[in-house]
Amino acid sequence: MVDLKLSEYFNDIYSVNEGIPEFEMLVNGEWINSDKKQDVVSSLDGSVIGRISVANHDNIDSMVNHAVEAQKEIEKMSLIDRIELLNKVKSEVISKKDELVNIIMIEAGKPKSAAEGEITTLIRRLELSEQDLYSLKGEFIPGDLAQDTVGRSAVLVRKPIGVVLGISPFNYPVYTSANKIIPAILGGNSIIIKPPSADPIALLALAEIFRKAGMPKGVLQVVTGSGSSTGDYLIENNQINMISFTGSTEVGEHITNVAGIKKLHMELGGKAPAIILKDADLDLAAKECVKGSLSLSGQRCDAISRILVVEDIYSKFVEKLKEHMSDFKMGNPIEDNSVNMGPLINKKSAERIDSMVKDAISKGCNLVQGGKYNNCYYEPTLLTDVTKDSIIANEETFGPVVTVIKVKDIDDAIEVSNNSKYGLDGCVFTNNISEAFKVMDRVKVGNMSLNVAPSHGTSNFPFGGIKYSGEGKEGIGKSIEEMTVVKTLIFDLSSFGLGKEYSGKFN
């Protein structure tokens, strides 16, 4: 059994029962228990590493009521004090970095480099918080643009949206949550976070860091329990003003159907195409395609999940992909630190990938490498000549499968790319500028990359999907826009005795 090795600093967030740490929920500045618990299982070896509290309706009601009250307080806190608070959080995250990395490795099965990457990115995100504040600057609109507003002018300001509910996925449990918490607080909102049940512990630890750094009580609260049990009761709550959800299209669609009138920001699934054209640097493209497909075992919304190669260079490119398959070594990263690809989050995921691969094989693709699994450990797999009617050519993979499809030419590549319900990321590899521009312009996705695999990273470049990949833009300076509302303040200058000549101009 693997050990979380929590230091004294985190003593308040759990108690030990029969050797298993039982974690509590952060409600109004205090860690509280609930009557029901749920196991957290490490995908490394299937052992129970902890239990989380399953929120009941009373817990949810109390949390939302506290969030409403706390929002009135955080709104009064000056921006400079909000930034100062995040600076303190950053210092604490730096000092607790190794511990957070260890928790992520154990609960999410991530290799050390990936777990470290998640925390380093969090530190950078905290550092960049001040950038968010530029989005809070307002606008001035002169009234003499339209007959009916002559003599008036307007100032547009951004106000907090109120109570935000953030729901985050298992693949970046800490970073995705933090990328909602930071802009919510800077925007003057209170936020309730629901971490994924598969790997919620590192986020509970981060919430403790926020609490100890002096976060006013009730501004950040954490609700735990499976999505289906906290589920609709939480989502329907009409005191929640916004849901910022990152997760699967299926759950996103469910939330959209039950949420009622509130702002929805949806970061959902993807099926990123990588288009390889004949003028591409094939070595660069192959390296990026393998990395884009396999890193984090393919469990990334921005993963490359179909590689569309034009027929002129198809065979040559497949050879290059084969060479790069050995860039990834799969195994248990706790036992072997040369491993750079860990297990999938659970066995169900491995079984799902297995059935997709088998479907593709039955439809005539070529299994070049991999295709086997043991519990949560799915081998790095290369499928070539995948047919367009295969499930893996259409549905989000979320597993370590390099999926190669032959296309006729650039127009065919664009058509195949767009023949998808998803529209999150895409990329193209070519050194021909006009072809690059054509593909960048025509592929219908929210984020398109040239000569590099998609990667959302710190979200310095904001991202977000179209079609079934979602709605809204996440990232520095953009999430805060989603989490604030524009209020229009109209000033009738004639009431100050100013005439039409001053319509909108204070000169």
Among residues 246, 297, 397, 503, which is the contact residue for ligand NAP, using CB under 6 A? 246
85: number of Cβ within 10 Å: 21
Which amino acid type is present at position 186? L
Is residue 459 involved in binding ligand NAP (CB under 6 A)?
no
Structural contact between residues 154 and 490, judged by C-beta atoms closer than 8 angstroms? yes
Measured N-to-C along each axis, helices 201-212 and 97-108 cross at an angle, to the nearest 10 degrees, of 160
Can you tell me whether residue 453 is helix, strand or coil?
Answer: coil
Q: For the stretch 181-202, what's the b/e string if a residue is b when 16 or more beta carbons lie within 10 angstroms of its beta carbon?
A: bbbbbbbbbbbbbbbbbbbbbb
Residue with the two structure tokens 């990329």: 427
Residue among 432, 387, 384 nearest 410 (CA):
432
The first and second tokens of residue 109, run together, are 């099965």
Contacts of 433 (CB under 8 A, 6+ apart): none
Distance separating alpha carbons of residues 94 and 97, to the nearest angstrom: 5
Contacts of 112 (CB under 8 A, 6+ apart): 101, 105, 333, 337
Residue with the two structure tokens 């288009």: 275
Is residue 301 involved in binding ligand NAP (CB under 6 A)?
yes
Is residue 105 involved in binding ligand NAP (CB under 6 A)?
no
Is residue 170 involved in binding ligand NAP (CB under 6 A)?
yes
Choices 125-133, 166-174, 374-382, 400-408; region in contact with ligand NAP by CB under 6 A: 166-174
376 is catalytic: no
CB of 134 to ligand NAP, least distance (A): 22
Choices 67-75, 263-271, 322-330, 411-419; region in contact with ligand NAP by CB under 6 A: 263-271
- For residue 297, give Cα distances in angstroms to 185, 226, 367, 379: 32, 23, 18, 9
- Which residue, 172 or 317, has its beta carbon nearer to ligand NAP? 172
CB of 224 to ligand NAP, least distance (A): 8
Is residue 257 involved in binding ligand NAP (CB under 6 A)?
no
CB of 172 to ligand NAP, least distance (A): 6
Is residue 467 involved in binding ligand NAP (CB under 6 A)?
no
> Which residues ranging from 122 to 161 are in contact with ligand NAP (CB under 6 A)?
none
301 is catalytic: yes
Size of the site for ligand NAP (CB under 6 A): 31
Structural contact between residues 163 and 172, judged by C-beta atoms closer than 8 angstroms? no
Q: What end-to-end distance do the CA atoms of the chain give, in Å?
A: 73
Is residue 231 involved in binding ligand NAP (CB under 6 A)?
yes
Question: Helices marked H in 110-200 — which ranges?
Answer: 112-127, 129-132, 173-186
Among residues 92, 118, 208, 267, which is the contact residue for ligand NAP, using CB under 6 A? 267
Distance separating alpha carbons of residues 195 and 238, to the nearest angstrom: 21
Pairing of strands 484-492, 152-160: antiparallel
Report CA 298 to chain centroid distance, whole Å: 14
Is residue 227 involved in binding ligand NAP (CB under 6 A)?
yes
Distance separating alpha carbons of residues 104 and 108, to the nearest angstrom: 5
Is residue 167 involved in binding ligand NAP (CB under 6 A)?
yes
Largest CA distance in the chain: 81
Choices 53-61, 243-251, 284-292, 331-339; region in contact with ligand NAP by CB under 6 A: 243-251
Among residues 153, 168, 241, 340, which is the contact residue for ligand NAP, using CB under 6 A? 168
Which amino acid type is present at position 401? V
CB of 473 to ligand NAP, least distance (A): 10
CB of 236 to ligand NAP, least distance (A): 10
- Which residue, 191 or 280, has its beta carbon nearer to ligand NAP? 191
- Which residue, 151 or 196, has its beta carbon nearer to ligand NAP? 196
Structural contact between residues 36 and 7, judged by C-beta atoms closer than 8 angstroms? no
Residue with the two structure tokens 């609260």: 221
**Set 92, 267, 435, 474: catalytic member:** 267
Which residue has its beta carbon closest to ligand NAP?
Answer: 227
Which residues are bridge partners to 220 per DSSP?
A: 191
Binding pattern for the stretch 182-221 against ligand NAP, x by CB under 6 A and - elsewhere:
------------x-xxx-----------------------
- Which residue, 71 or 168, has its beta carbon nearer to ligand NAP? 168
Distance separating alpha carbons of residues 146 and 172, to the nearest angstrom: 48
> Which residues ranging from 374 to 433 are in contact with ligand NAP (CB under 6 A)?
396, 398, 424
Is residue 175 involved in binding ligand NAP (CB under 6 A)?
no
CB of 71 to ligand NAP, least distance (A): 21
**Set 288, 289, 301, 482: catalytic member:** 301
Is residue 226 involved in binding ligand NAP (CB under 6 A)?
yes
CB of 194 to ligand NAP, least distance (A): 5
- To the nearest 10°, the Cα dihedral for 29, 30, 32, 38? 60
Is residue 92 involved in binding ligand NAP (CB under 6 A)?
no
- Which residue, 121 or 176, has its beta carbon nearer to ligand NAP? 176
- Which residue, 120 or 149, has its beta carbon nearer to ligand NAP? 120
DSSP state of 29: T
Distance separating alpha carbons of residues 208 and 29, to the nearest angstrom: 9
Among residues 33, 62, 131, 248, which is the contact residue for ligand NAP, using CB under 6 A? 248
Is residue 102 involved in binding ligand NAP (CB under 6 A)?
no
Catalytic site residues?
A: 267, 301
Footprint of ligand NAP (CB under 6 A): 167-171, 176, 194, 196-198, 226-228, 231, 235, 246-248, 251, 254-255, 267-270, 301, 396, 398, 424, 465, 470
